Amino acid sequence: QSALTQPASVSASPGQSITISCTGTSSDVGSYNRVSWYQQHPGKAPKLLVFDVTNRPSGVSNRFSGSKSGNTASLTISGLQAEDEADYYCSSFTSTRIFYVFGTGTKVTVL
Amino acid sequence: EVQLVESGGGFVQPGGSLRLSCAASGFTFSAYEMNWLRQTPGEGLEWVSYINSGDATTYYSDSVKGRFTTSRDNAKNSLYLQMNSLRVEDTAVYYCATKVYGTTYFDYWGQGALVTVSS
């Protein structure tokens, strides 16, 4: 089972919006609305940002939003802030025996 | 406040064993499914194992099946990962994480425990 494909890095200035893509297959992203996104600051544990494609846990800023089309899911961060500088990972439930597959990770840099 | 604290990581030679623990607090541990995941610079995040909240049914990734064993002690609010026949490629930061029944995402994660397998 290959990892989901994400761009290695994305950068933008404060206040701008960015979108991170997460491309999978018909065995994972394309078949299930079970995509989640995690934010990870250096040396810290991942933090759940979005679950089931579009839902945010309580306490997560509405600047983070998720979507999906076909085999590709996306995370959009609007009004980029300095504290958004981190690594972002997508994950999807999969019909394969490993149950969960993660993305390759995207480093977001706030210029 | 939900807290998950891993311990037991360290340095071990190939073929050796190590036992990780995850101490949980701030939530009803017995009601949550629990998972172990690991992260390496090269391979990224990988799901390792799962244990349910009821009859302790477990599932493992193919990469650790037969070598790792997940267990839990609800009376002690603790999760464990017994790792045997360790390989160099098992070197990673290991996280315990919660999962609600019926969902497919990991709500809360511990801070991680580093396991280094090297000769």
pLDDT 10s digits, B1-60 = 999 999 999 999 999 999 999 999 999 999 999 999 999 987 789 999 999 998 889 999
Give me B14's structure tokens: 């190939």
At residue B89, does pLDDT exceed 90? yes
Q: Which residue of A35, A56, A75, A100 is the best one to mutate when testing the B interface, meaning the one whose CB has the most B CBs within 10 A?
A: A100
At residue B65, does pLDDT exceed 90? yes
pLDDT (mean) for A21-32: 95
> Residues A3-27, buried b or exposed e (16+ Cβ, 10 A)?
bbebbeebeeeeeeebebbbbbbeb
Q: Which residues of A touch B95 (CB under 8 A)?
A: 45-46
Q: What is the pLDDT of residue A111?
A: 95
Q: What is the pLDDT of residue B33?
A: 95
Q: What is the pLDDT of residue A96?
A: 79
Q: Which residues of A touch B45 (CB under 8 A)?
A: 38, 46, 89, 91, 102, 105
Residue of A nearest to B48 (CA): A98
Query: For residue range A38-74, what is the model confidence (pLDDT) as tens digits?
Result: 999 999 999 999 999 999 999 999 999 999 999 999 9
Distance from CA of A10 to the nearest CA of B (A): 18
Q: Cβ of A51: how many Cβ atoms within 10 Å?
A: 22
Measured between alpha carbons, how far is B24 from B27 in angstroms, rounded to an integer? 8
Give me B72's structure tokens: 């839990």
Give residue B79's pLDDT band: very low, low, confident or very high (50, 70, 90): very high
Query: For residue range A72-104, what is the model confidence (pLDDT) as tens digits?
Result: 999 999 999 999 999 999 999 998 777 899 999
A98 touches chain B (CB under 8 A): yes
Residue B36: enclosing H or E segment and its boundaries? strand B33-40
